[in-house]
Each structure stands twice: as C-alpha cells, then as structure tokens.
C-alpha cells in the first residue's frame, strides 16, 4: 500500500517540458478599411508582420486580392514593417489580405476592404447615361472601343464639365468635355488585351463627380470565329462512310470567303482545304481510317490571325463492330453478325445454319466417311466382288446426309473381266421419310458418265447395273447420294448402303 502511494505521488509530480510556437502577428496599417480608389490610381499598402520566435525579415509575407488573386510578396524590415504599392486592380470591391508564415508553417493574417471606382451618386454631381459599350462586350485590340454617353448637369452647361475615360488596366485613356447637347462620343484605342473596367467620370466646377463604369474584353488580335456544326462532337462513323462536315465562320475585318480554311485530323493529317462562301458557310467531305480522330478546322485571315474549332469523332470498320451483341465481330470470326445465336463457340443445332462459324453445317452429325462431298473426295470401298465366279455383298451402315448440301460419294471396283460378267444392285435404305433423295451410279471406265439414277420421297432407293455380255472390264464405279428436299431428321437418321454383286460367268 505504501509503495502504491509513493508511485501515485511520483506520477503526480511528473511534468512535461516542451517548446510551443505561436503564429506571426499581422496588422494592415494603410490604407483605411473601406477606402475608395480611382481606377488606375496607385494603392499604397502597408502593414506590420512580427513573430515571437524568429526575426521579422525571415517571415514569408505576401499580399492577395479576393478579385485579382495573388498580388506579390514583401520582405519586412527589422521592425516588421512591410510596404507594397499596387496599381491596376480590377474595378470593384476587393478584400485585400496580408499573410505572414513562419518557419513552422504557422500563419497570421489581416484583411481590409478596398473599393476601386468613383463611388455612388453624389447630390448635385453630373449625371451620366452610358450608352455604349454594353457590359461584357468584346473588342479586337485593332479596333479600339467607342464610348458613347449622354451627360447633363443641373448647374452648368455640359460643355464646361471636365470628363475623362479611365481603364482599370491602362489608366487614363482620354480627357475632355461633352458637346453642347451633352452628347459624348469618343473612340479610345491602345487598350491592353484582357478584361478591363472602363469608367467615364465627369467633374463640375464644385468638384462634384459623377461616373458610370462598364466591363469589356479586349482581344489580343482579331481572330476569325469558327464553329463546326457537323460532324457532331462524339459522333460515330463507319470507314465505309463519306464524312460530311459543315461549319460557320466570320471575321471582324476579312470577308468570310477570303479566309483560308484547312481541316486536319490528329491521326490522318490534312483531310480538306478550301474556302467558305460569302455567308461564311463552309462544307466538305472526306473519308477516314479506323480510329479516334480529333478534327480541327482552322481559319486564317488576311492579317495572319487564326481561329479554330475542334470536334472528336470515332471511326469504326463495320467488320470490327459487334452488331448483334454476341461478343464477336465479323473480323473476329462472326459469320452472321445479325444473329446473336451464331458466333464462334456456339453449339451446333441440326438445321441449315452454321452456328459455330467453322464453315461447316451440322458437323456434329457427320458420318465416319465425311468429307466425301465430291467424286474426287469419294470414299474408296476397294474391290467389292472379291470371290471368283460367286456373288458378293458390301453393306455399310451409319451413314448420314447431315445438311441440305451434303453429298456422299463412294467408289468401288466391281472386278469384272473377260471370264466374269458382273452385274449388281445398289440399295440405299433407311432414309428419313418425307424428303427427296437421289442415288446415282457413274461408270468411271467410260469417262465418269452417269449410268443410271433413282430417286424417292420414301425411305429406300435401288438402282441396278445389268449384265453386259459384250463389255468386259467395267470395273470402276462411283455412287452419289444426295437430297433434293432435305429434312432435319437427316442429322439423326442414318441410312445403309448395300452393294449386291452377281456373277453370270463367261458369255455363251
């Protein structure tokens, strides 16, 4: 118990010693919060940045605006004073921030509000109606901006007022007086490219000021305007198609039909060049190889300025597209891309279709003598009558006509000579009923001519070669079996081929 009490007391007396960092202290001393500054006028920013753990000059100090973003950095002097003059702030209300960051990454900040403009209406001040430009209007730098306004004052003639046009980017652009009727039209040029606030300010003899402000954009150059209407971005086309494009163009100085046009693909290079018509419409056509193409139409005006528009299209070989959604294309082995049940790997069905696209129909039901589809590929039974001066029989079963185009050819040697005059019957039995079946016998010793033929819609056909006493050596024969009206039962119904030979001996 005593030991536990001692340990408890020791634990209570433990203290942790560490070093704690505090962020810099920051104050903006000038200008006053809410100050109003005329566009283009210099703004003198000042502040104090100090830190308890490090010297002021080693702090990282920066200024920023809620409108214009980062303004720049300052280095405090030994006493922490920072000075930062700035001009060209965008017209409007700014929150200006002074930030100081120490070596530990801790930051201190101070803010104030500044208005860039001439303030609101002043009683008795000149009244200005700004007619042009309108808010957000865009101008090429080569043209300048035409300022149009109506000015009036209750106490003195308009032509005695002192007016000026000021840009938030370029400062004073013009000073002078309105006409006697109060009208003011003045083209101001030399504006810097970018977005700027233009302020028309007029002051009367009592130092009362009225003003109006508008924001405009000045383009760096007078670029042509280009829009591709067709093909549509993201559209798909076949390699067999002719791609047709349609575009609309214009330029501030150059007539549309004078613009030099070129259409390029990031894959194929240049695909078209030409001109638009007087309305600025351009059309053309071309073919593309398979791939993803970014098409860019570029227009160049007489001053060498260019404008462009781009779309991305997908070009596909029709043989590489899976039309039936079975996972195979025609180039991938699909022999019928319109039937999702036909493709490589599909199970064969006993019909007239090659389901697995291997080039054969119903091969699962072939007999052991396939493919004997022609006389040159016929199966050779060899010598049928192998017994001298005796009758003989050859019987082969398990044969099929597995599809409408299946033909079975067989050849055999009847072994007829001067001593034996062989005649024989050829019988095909077990055929599916209801079909049309033909059996033909060919004499190969006489040029392979058709000797005799038999047909049936039943199940059996027999043809005969009679004895010929004065013909010897009629040895080689061919049998052809085929259908004229095939039945699907031909896959599973087997037929039997029988050759019966008879020996009549030598002629008397």
Mean pLDDT by 10 residues, the chain (508 residues): 37 47 92 82 91 92 83 91 88 81 89 73 84 90 88 94 90 94 93 86 91 86 86 93 92 86 94 93 93 94 87 93 90 91 92 91 92 94 71 90 93 72 89 92 90 93 79 80 88 92 63
Residues 91 and 200 in one domain: no
Written as six digits, the tokens of 162 are 């002192």
Q: Would you say 424 and 475 are in contact if contact means Cβ atoms under 8 Å apart? A: no
Model confidence pLDDT, tens digit, residues 359-382: 999 999 999 999 999 999 999 999
Written as six digits, the tokens of 344 are 């490589």
Residue 92's pLDDT is 65
**What pTM does this model have?**
0.45
Q: Would you say 236 and 321 are in contact if contact means Cβ atoms under 8 Å apart? A: no
Residues 304 and 178 in one domain: no
Residues 103 and 230 in one domain: no
Q: Does any domain span residue 328?
A: no
Angstrom distance (rounded) from CA 397 to CA 496: 4
How many Å separate Cα 327 from the centre of its chain? 21
Model confidence pLDDT, tens digit, residues 203-258: 999 889 898 989 998 877 667 889 999 999 999 999 998 999 999 998 877 888 99
For 204-268, list the strands marked E by DSSP. 209-219, 225-230, 236-238, 243-250, 260-265
Sign of CA dihedral 33, 34, 38, 40: positive
* DSSP SS3 for 101: strand
Written as six digits, the tokens of 102 are 């120490």
Written as six digits, the tokens of 455 are 């047909």
Q: Which residue range(s) make up the domain with 277? A: 225-316
Angstrom distance (rounded) from CA 74 to CA 64: 11
DSSP H or E run through 10: helix 2-13
Residues 107 and 151 in one domain: no
Residue 124's pLDDT is 84
Residue 3's pLDDT is 35
- Beta-carbon contacts of residue 75 (< 8 Å; ≥ 6 apart): 57, 61, 82
Helix, strand, coil percent values for the chain (each to nearest 5): 5, 45, 45
Residue 420's pLDDT is 57
Residue 421's pLDDT is 73
201 half-sphere exposure, CB direction, 13 A CA radius: 24
Residues 93 and 134 in one domain: no
Residue 2's pLDDT is 35
Number of domains forming the structure of the chain: 4
Angstrom distance (rounded) from CA 271 to CA 264: 5
Residues 387 and 499 in one domain: yes
Angstrom distance (rounded) from CA 290 to CA 136: 43
Written as six digits, the tokens of 47 are 């502040």
* DSSP SS3 for 244: strand
Residues 486 and 376 in one domain: yes
Q: Does any domain span residue 121?
A: no
- Where do we find the tokens 């039997």? 496
For residue 290, the domain's CATH number is: 2.60.40.10
Residues 498 and 369 in one domain: yes
Q: Does any domain span residue 43?
A: yes
Q: Does any domain span residue 6?
A: no
């Amino acid at each position: 118990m005593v030991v536990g009490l001692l340990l408890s007391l020791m634990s209570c007396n433990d203290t942790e010693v560490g070093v704690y960092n505090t962020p810099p202290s920051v104050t903006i001393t000038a200008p006053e919060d809410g100050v109003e500054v005329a566009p283009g006028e210099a703004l003198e920013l000042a502040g104090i940045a100090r830190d308890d753990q490090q010297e002021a000059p080693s702090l990282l100090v920066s200024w920023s605006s809620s409108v214009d973003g980062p303004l720049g950095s300052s280095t405090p002097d030994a006493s922490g004073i920072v000075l930062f003059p700035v001009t060209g702030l965008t017209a409007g209300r700014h929150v200006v921030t002074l930030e100081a960051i120490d070596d530990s990454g801790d930051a201190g900040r101070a803010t104030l509000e500044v208005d860039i403009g001439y303030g609101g209406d002043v009683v008795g001040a000149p009244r200005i109606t700004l007619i042009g430009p309108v808010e957000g209007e865009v101008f090429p730098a080569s043209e300048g901006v035409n300022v149009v306004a109506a000015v009036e004052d209750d106490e003195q003639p308009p032509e005695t007022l002192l007016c000026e046009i000021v840009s938030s980017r370029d400062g004073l652009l013009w000073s002078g007086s309105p006409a006697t009727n109060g009208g003011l039209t003045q083209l101001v040029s030399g504006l810097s490219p970018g977005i700027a606030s233009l302020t028309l300010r007029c002051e009367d003899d009592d130092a009362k000021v009225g003003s109006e402000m508008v924001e405009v954009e000045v383009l760096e150059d007078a670029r042509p305007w280009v829009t591709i209407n067709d093909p549509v971005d993201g559209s798909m086309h076949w390699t067999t198609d002719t791609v047709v494009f349609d575009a609309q163009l214009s330029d501030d100085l150059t007539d549309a039909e004078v613009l030099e046009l070129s259409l390029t693909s990031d894959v194929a290079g240049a695909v078209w060049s030409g001109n638009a018509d007087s309305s600025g419409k351009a059309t053309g056509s071309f073919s593309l190889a398979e791939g993803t193409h970014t098409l860019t139409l570029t227009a160049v005006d007489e001053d060498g300025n260019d404008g462009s528009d781009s779309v991305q299209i997908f070009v596909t070989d029709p043989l590489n597209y899976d039309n039936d959604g079975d996972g195979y294309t025609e180039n991938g082995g699909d022999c019928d891309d319109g039937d999702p049940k036909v493709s490589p790997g599909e199970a064969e069905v006993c019909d007239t279709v090659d389901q697995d696209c291997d080039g054969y129909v119903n091969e699962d039901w072939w007999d052991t003598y396939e493919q004997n589809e022609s006389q040159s590929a016929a199966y050779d039974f060899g010598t049928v009558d192998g017994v001298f001066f005796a009758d003989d029989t050859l019987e082969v079963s398990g044969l099929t006509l597995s599809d409408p185009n299946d033909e079975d050819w067989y050849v055999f040697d009847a072994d007829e000579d001067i001593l034996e005059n062989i005649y024989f019957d050829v019988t095909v039995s077990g055929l599916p009923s209801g079909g049309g079946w033909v059996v033909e016998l060919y004499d190969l010793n006489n040029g392979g001519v058709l000797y005799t033929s038999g047909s049936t819609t039943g199940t059996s056909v027999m043809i005969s070669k009679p004895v010929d006493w004065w013909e010897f050596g009629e040895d080689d024969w061919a049998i052809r079996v085929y259908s004229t009206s095939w039945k699907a039962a031909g896959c599973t119904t087997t037929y039997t081929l029988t050759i019966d030979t008879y020996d009549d001996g030598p002629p008397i």
